[in-house]
Amino acid sequence: MAVTGVAEHELYGKCPYVTVQKVLTGKWTLLIMHHLENGPLRFKELERVLAPITQATLTKQLRTMERNGLIHRKVYNQIPPKVEYSLSEIGAKFSVVLAALGEWGQDYLDYLREEGEIDTDK
């Protein structure tokens, strides 16, 4: 779909590429989805695997992802409070894309090593 002369906000919900770009905003979205692929995680667990993310940034990112329907937030009625995050049904469908991105990312790392752009000892 050509976007020439059409404002991007007018294409959200109409063009799949613009929609995906809007839904996957945020530096941490892909990594959060990757870590939730294996099952639910609590806030502190996510914070630990995503270090150096700040608590405020993680909170904001999780709220955006929940609002976009990518994840579920489950609150357990107990003391101390327990909250788990998991992929929603539509979020879980993204696993195929994550696998493809991971494969492409590895290919790109191999390319960078071949080009001498990154240290091969790491």
CATH number where 99 lies:
1.10.10.10
Number of domains the chain is built from:
1
The answer to whether residue 4 is domain-embedded is no
The answer to whether residue 76 is domain-embedded is yes
pLDDT at 10: 82
The answer to whether residue 120 is domain-embedded is no
The answer to whether residue 121 is domain-embedded is no
The answer to whether residue 5 is domain-embedded is no
| Domain extent for 45 | 10-114
For 29-76, give the secondary structure using H, E and C.
Answer: HHHHHHHHCCCCEEHHHHHHHCCCCCHHHHHHHHHHHHHCCCEEEEEE
Q: Model-level pTM?
A: 0.85
Percent of the chain with pLDDT over 70: 93
Q: Is the pLDDT of residue 119 over 80?
A: yes
The answer to whether residue 108 is domain-embedded is yes
pLDDT at 5: 57
- Per-residue model confidence as pLDDT tens digits over 42-65: 999 999 999 999 999 999 999 999
pLDDT at 8: 67
The answer to whether residue 2 is domain-embedded is no
